[in-house]
Structure 1
Amino acid sequence: MQNIQLILQIYTGIFFFLNIFLFDYPLMAVADAVLFGGILALQLDLRKHLNIERSARLLIGIIVIFLSIYFVLAQGRNYSFIWFSMVPLLAFFLLGLHLGLYVSGIFLTALVAFVIWFAPQWPSYAINIPAVFNISLALFAVLTISRHYEKSREEAFSFLAKRNSELEILAKTDPLTQLNNRSHLDDVLEQELSRAQRHEHDLAVLILDTDHFKTLNDSYGHIVGDQVLKELSEVLLSHVRSSDNLGRWGGEEFLIIAPDTNEGGAVELAEKIRIAVAEHRFTDEKLHLTVSIGCAAYSSEDTLVSIVQRADNGLYQAKHDGRNCTRLGKTTRILRK
């Protein structure tokens, strides 16, 4: 909005001096001065109220009134009508599609009616220096405003693309750990399971849970507990492969989807992670944490539910066997006592 106002002020200033010193049209120079003052008042109004919609409508109103007066005074002189090409451009840019079409339609209809009624009484004008100025500057003004419109449109699309990308990341990310959230893990697991079934590739799922985390929260508070989860996420990230998908499964549980990994590879990965966590000292280097891990390797009968269920069975077995260990999940569910 401010750039459009500045462009129009520059043009009214140029024509103010041209109409006085070159074209010898003092009445047109007065109209230019009034338009310049009107745009300046709009700039002050915009700074005061910060209402772009109000400013846009007032600006279009001023331009329409000015061009109508200009057309009556010029009586077609020096191809003055070419400036009306700016009205639809500014109306669509500042008012939007529907209101811009409405304003442009009314203005151009009134203009055509006025020309049909009065044009026969006007003298004929040849192409002269003022006409060349009018045609050249009007076309340049249209090009300038069009370029500004296109630039604004590109910036708007770029902003929207950036926001959409940020929203997409937020939709996939756990806010505390910045890992994948459960919803995204479900999508990834479905894709990887489909790929494993289609191409007969290996696939493993690991579920790990922190041991005695409730005791840690009760002893040190939830703020420290959250910090421990963040650090644990970093430890896990540093020990999974780039092809693995790690995420927060819920609460203190994490899930790892490991493509092209068989049963032995899953246990090896789990043990590497378990040892790394056990050796790490959290927060102030005083807190010790261990994890229990359940693993399941893909079989041809597996579904999205069954492979996760078997990994969860392995996790339960690890908890049952004293924690801080890795267990392969069995097909049959072990009832929790």
Structure 2
Amino acid sequence: MTEIPPHGLFRRWPLMGVAPDDSEDLRLKKAVMTITSTSIAFLAIFWGSFYIYNGYPFSGAIPLTYSVVSFSSTLHFFKTRHFAFFCFSQQLLILLLPYFLMWSLGGFANGSVVMIWAIFAPLAALFFIDLKAATRWMLAFLALLILSALFDQTFAAHARPMPAGLNTFYFLLNLGCGFILIAIMLYYFVKDRESAYTKLQQSETHIRELMLTDPLTDVANRRHLDSRMVMELSRQMRYGPPLSVILTDIDWFKRVNDTYGHAVGDTVLKAFADHLRDSLRVSDFVARYGGEEFVLLLPNTTIEDATALAERIRETTKQILFAQPELCMTASFGVTAARPGETMTEVLSRADEAMYQSKSQGRDRVSVLME
């Protein structure tokens, strides 16, 4: 078996209880619980040794025993992947440890500060399970607190008082280490939630773009055109700026497919869509209407300016080059202007009629229809 380098083991340790089919949320919970329980177990070794060094061997044995049981629970979790049992055992250990330690030190006078560690039981339940479980663990914490108060005098009578300076030192160490671990738990959860929220937003944006974009030409699709046109017509109705519409259709497109194949036909569609998009302002809008037809929405544009734009696009369309030297693309255009109060169907119908005039008159031309 290949020996794992120390830094590799350190990185893999939080994930050793993770199963391949675990969700991202469950993976995070397992990793954070493993990190937290392992950190507390190592700290317990320190506390136990420190208590023994300062003349409290029985009190020192309690956190040392906790460490052994906690590590055993963690290894059992790695072997079985039973996360629910792992959570329960670690919560029970961290709930009982502070009380046993406090009772051995003589009650609240010497050991009240260790109570901060018991807070990890309901806090862990809140993070890893739910609010109902956290409430139950908090009630258990309060029950043990009341029990401690009832027997406080008894505990104090059988314990050696701790020097004031040492008591203060323990207070600062417990408080500092406890809050650091709480901060680590919060950091991991908040960071993960922020990351998950960002990924969700990106996924929603991507899905929305896919829903509103034509996959072949990468311009807006019919669904997007419908919503955008309703918005532009409403804006025109409210504020009164001119709104011009151009409907354009590639000439003899069926011949392109029949002669060169659909792959070349797709290339022609993409090239024309790119050309239309490059010819517009940022405020303008282009969408694939269907087949080889495209619609251009031109807010704040008069019918005269829209006609001039259509003529420029028509002329430059013939300059688009393809791998087939003999292939030359032309397009027909129908131009109209929306009147306040008109529906989308009425405007597009008139633009389609104008484009039909261009087709019937020989193609590769611009026709304008206002009535």
Normalised-by-shorter TM-score class: 0.7 to 0.9
Cα 1:3–1:72 shift into 2, 3 Å: closer
Taking only the aligned residue pairs, the percentage that are identical comes to 28
Alignment CA distance shift 1:283-1:11 (3 Å)? farther
Separation of aligned partners in 1, 2:139 and 2:348: 69
Q: Is the 8 A contact 2:358 2:367 kept in 1?
A: yes
Please state how far the C-alpha of 1:18 moved relative to its aligned partner. Answer: 2.5
Which consecutive segments of 4 or more residues in structure 1 shift more than 4 A?
43-46, 283-286
What is the CA–CA distance in structure 2 between the aligned matches of 1:283 and 1:187, rounded to whole Å? Answer: 37
Find the residue that maps to 1:257 and give its secondary structure. strand
Structure 2 Cα separation of the partners of residues 83 and 21 of structure 1: 17
**1:177-192 counterparts in 2 under 5 A?**
177-192=217-232
> What secondary structure is seen at the aligned counterpart in 2 of 1:323?
coil
Asked if 1:73 is matched to 2:100, the reply is yes
Q: How does 1:95-106 map to 2 (within 5 A)?
A: 95=129, 100-106=130-136
Output the amino acid matched with 2:233: L
**Matched positions, count:** 319
Matched with 2:258 is: 218
Q: Which runs of 5+ in 2 are unaligned?
A: 1-27, 106-110
Q: Which residue of 1 aligns with 2:303?
A: 263
Give CA-to-partner distance per residue, 1:194-233, whole Å, 9 cap, x none.
Answer: 2223333222100111112222223333232222211211
Supply the AA of the counterpart residue of 2:220. Answer: N
Moved more, 178-187 or 139-148: 139-148
Q: Structure 1 residues 299-308 or 289-298, which shifts more?
A: 299-308
Retained in 2: the 8 A contact 1:89–1:146? no
Q: Normalised by the size of structure 2, how large is the TM-score?
A: 0.77
Shift of 1:299: 3.1
Q: Could you tell me which amino acid in structure 2 is paired with residue 175 of structure 1?
A: P
Q: C-alpha separation between the residues in 2 aligned to 1:299 and 1:113? A: 76
| Bigger shift: residues 309-318 or 211-220 | 211-220
**TM value normalised by structure 1:** 0.84
Q: Which residue of 1 aligns with 2:21?
A: none
Match of 2:41 in 1: 12
| 93 and 298 in structure 1: CA distance in 2 versus 1, 3 angstrom threshold | same
2:203 alignment partner, SS class: helix
**Would the alpha carbon gap of residues 160 and 301 (structure 1) be closer, same or farther in structure 2, given more than 3 Å must change?**
closer
**Counterpart-to-counterpart distance in 1, 2:296 and 2:187:** 50
Whether the aligned pair in 2 keeps the contact of 1:239 and 1:273 (CA below 8 Å) is: yes
Give the superposition deviation at 1:42. 3.5
The corresponding residue for 1:111 is 141
What do the CA deviations read for 1:121-155 (whole angstroms, capped 9, x no partner)? 34247771434433332222222212222222222
Aligned twin of 1:31: 66
Corresponding position of 1:87: 121
Measure, in 1, the Cα distance between the counterparts of 2:96 and 2:353.
Answer: 84
Partners in 2 of 1:311 and 1:179 — Cα distance? 20
Contact 1:13-1:33 at 8 Å conserved across structures:
no
- Alpha-carbon separation, structure 2, partners of 1:39 and 1:30: 14
Q: For 1:58 and 1:242, how far apart are their aligned partners in 2?
A: 59
- What pairs with 1:106-255 in structure 2 (closer than 5 Å)? 106-117=136-147, 119-122=149-152, 123-124=155-156, 128=167, 129-255=169-295
Tell me the SS of whatever aligns to 1:288. coil
CA RMSD in angstroms, aligned pairs only: 2.5
1:56-114 superposed Cα distances (whole Å, 9 cap, x missing partner): x344212123124424532444233321222233222222xxxx222222222233334
CA distance in structure 2 between the aligned counterparts of 1:20 and 1:102, rounded to whole angstroms? 37
| Comparing 216-225 and 260-269, the one that deviates more | 216-225
Note if contact 1:205-1:255 (Cα within 8 Å) is conserved in structure 2. yes
Aligned mates of 2:326, 2:78 — CA distance in 1: 62
What is aligned with 1:62? 89
**In the alignment, is the contact (CA less than 8 A) between 2:97 and 2:118 conserved in 1?**
no
Q: CA deviation at 1:173?
A: 1.5
